[in-house]
């Protein structure tokens, strides 16, 4: 740098060229702090670069979470662990590390309505997004609608390949609405396409033994379950509905007695 050049202007120019706005913003204040606290050159450089990386990571996380199309944001911190047994809480803590994603393992959350399955599916999706994994959320009905549209336009294979770009797909509410034969076949293709290529998080109010009714065919159900649980963590959630417990607590009485 030319000694006559204004350092602040030169830093601003270089940061614009490198597309590092956080460095441009913090270089001056951190330089003042470095002089006061007698930082080494290496400490100052690490502080400046660290702030830029932290900002870029946070922005990336926000973009991935927005792109996941969650219906709302839920976190593991918001979940009441007392509704799960100790073994399930240990499994949940393991899943929160998101090590299941690079291993292309699946997560299946089973239990009655209102027990927190969707909450945990979203929360694990948020964890994955915060670990730089692309995530996409939809209900089972939404996924079938998407795949039917692709099938009807002759682009199903292209759509399935596109979905492989997402490291985690979340399929919520399997079992609430029975599938027609074509829908069941498409659901099988979605699960089969992910097998050992990407992770799936599935929530269902039905035990696996009841999936034949939902998919309308015991053979398709067995083939789907086989691929889904071959490399999977299954978390069974029993007990009273979250919404029922909250209503009971707020009202101070058991509404089921009314």
Give the closest residue to 123 by CA, choosing from 146, 144, 107. Answer: 107
What is the tens place of the pLDDT at every residue in 204-250?
Answer: 999 999 999 999 999 999 999 999 999 999 999 876 655 545 544 44
Domain closes at, from 15, 32, 61: 61
- Same domain membership, residue 197 and residue 90: yes
Q: Is 146 exposed, middle or buried (0-12, 13-18, 19+ CB in 10 A)?
A: middle
Number of domains in the chain: 2
Tell me, yes or no, whether 165 lies in a domain: yes
In a domain, 180, yes or no: yes
144 and 34 share one domain: no
Segments forming the whole domain that contains residue 80: 76-247
219 falls within a domain: yes
Q: Are residues 55 and 96 in the same domain?
A: no
- The band of 187, judged by pLDDT with boundaries at 50, 70 and 90, is very high
Cα separation, 102 vs 124, whole angstroms: 14
For residues 148 and 218, membership in a common domain is answered with yes
Q: Whole-prediction pTM value?
A: 0.81
Determine, yes or no, domain membership for 221: yes
Q: Which two tokens stand for residue 194?
A: 């992910």
**Residues 134-159 pLDDT 10s:** 999 999 999 999 999 999 999 999 99
The residues facing 202 across adjacent strands are 108, 171
């Amino acid at each position: 740098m030319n000694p006559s050049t204004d350092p602040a202007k030169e830093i601003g120019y270089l940061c614009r060229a490198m597309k590092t706005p956080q460095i441009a913003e913090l270089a001056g204040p951190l330089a003042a702090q470095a002089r006061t606290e007698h930082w080494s050159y290496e400490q100052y450089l690490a502080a400046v670069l660290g702030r830029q990386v932290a900002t870029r990571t946070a922005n990336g996380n926000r973009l991935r979470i927005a792109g996941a199309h969650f219906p709302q944001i839920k976190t593991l911190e918001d979940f009441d662990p007392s509704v799960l047994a100790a073994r399930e809480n240990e499994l949940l803590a393991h899943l929160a590390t998101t090590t299941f994603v690079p291993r292309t393992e699946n997560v299946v959350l089973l239990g009655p309505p209102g027990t927190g399955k969707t909450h945990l599916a979203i929360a694990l999706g948020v964890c994955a997004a915060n670990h730089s994994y692309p995530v996409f959320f939809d209900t089972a009905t939404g996924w079938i609608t998407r795949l039917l549209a692709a099938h009807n336009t002759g682009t199903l294979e292209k759509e399935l390949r596109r979905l492989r770009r997402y490291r985690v797909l979340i399929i919520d509410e399997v079992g609430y609405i029975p599938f027609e034969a074509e829908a069941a076949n498409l659901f099988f293709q979605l699960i089969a396409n992910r097998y050992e290529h990407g992770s799936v998080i599935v929530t269902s109010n039905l035990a696996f033994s009841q999936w034949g009714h939902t998919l309308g065919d015991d053979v398709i159900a067995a083939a789907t379950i086989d691929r889904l649980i071959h490399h999977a963590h299954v978390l069974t959630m029993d007990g009273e509905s979250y919404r029922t417990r909250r209503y009971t607590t707020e009202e101070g009485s058991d509404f089921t007695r009314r």
